[in-house]
Structure 1
């Protein structure tokens, strides 16, 4: 998840006092986009030619509800994601990921002029409770893959002859491969298709050791 801003903390505290439903990430992004639109209209008004307003929006740069708001090639730039190690019912903050720095224990701003401290970061707890990084994987990792999804930009997978996935593409697969590449050892894996049932049933397959993990989802 993206590093939350102090403004977001205040907002969610006020929200939780009035509503039982949690604030959705898409709602936070929509809030910042509307804010960028409003500020742009204040600067250039509402011109007859929408290109002028669009160019003004693309120059927007401010501290939004979801953190730093900045656009490039009409896409929102992320200032980084917080990496969380889930252990039972607890979460351990173990580092950050940014497009420019990759995986680190600290988080830089866009201008790299302020480096956030690594204080509060914890070591990863591996299966079995060990904090020692494993050096090898003899067993092939069986990874559950959702198939038949309509939004293929997140994930698109094809069947193989033996009911295994031979080809998988999309954002989720890119993230999966990026993590494998930074590991100090090779992890053999295979994609196992999952077409029917809920995400809860998919997670149950991990619990029942039918699958080793199910991180390739959307």
Structure 2
């Protein structure tokens, strides 16, 4: 996920009211690595978000100090008017990947070809397969060294990450650290101390702030939906085959059936949780009035043979179309007349069309 897409998603989620109490946002390291936590606007939109970040550890070595000096020097050279920004997680991983590739090439003892072949940009068919490809692939798989981001090691052709940072964004963000050897800890460099390990006795000091500044973990959406009855409008005047409303005066009850009602009930029955639904008859009004009632949040939805058009879609969300009524004209076909296809137009119009066709062909 690109940095702009990740940040815009969170900013728009806040505008839509999805960063309030009752919501939970948990981001993977791939998305979290691209977020700039120094951006005030993004941090305000992310309050209560929990995310994993790959944690690059700059070891106190000659390599890391030299890299930092070169980075700052190059940054001042090309961007003299900008504040120096430190290398992010993706940049550190890219540097270690290139370093690992160069080291694998040396160990594979690859030598440049003596025969130079000039290949154009799109002339990929002349490229040949390197004889050292298998050896290089094997050496890359066995790469293991200490890079800028810590230990660089591959397993099943994937980078092994021993340390992650768990960020709970609140202001500058509360942080926890996780390693495969010691689990959770508040201090990355003191994993060997037992009192820094994350356990039940210390969990009370590591309260998580959820969206809406809530200390209580949001309940499952399934739990929130249980116990509530959803009210759906059903138009009283509709095509009976799709929606039919029957009122029994003796029992004083209203029943609903029809194709649209059956489709709705079948969809509700396939949900993995119980949903209580109440049908309410809408007697006076058109389909547009039904749409407006749902838009004004007087009801949770509507079940009917409502045609989806651009104007109605501006106010409510429709389900996917499950049928297409369409409009067609049915006419009797006289199969005995071989020229029946000429009947839609008058003979004069057919003659003019033929002349124009011949004239156009002659001119071209």
Q: TM-score, normalised by structure 2?
A: 0.30
Structure with greater helix share of residues: 2
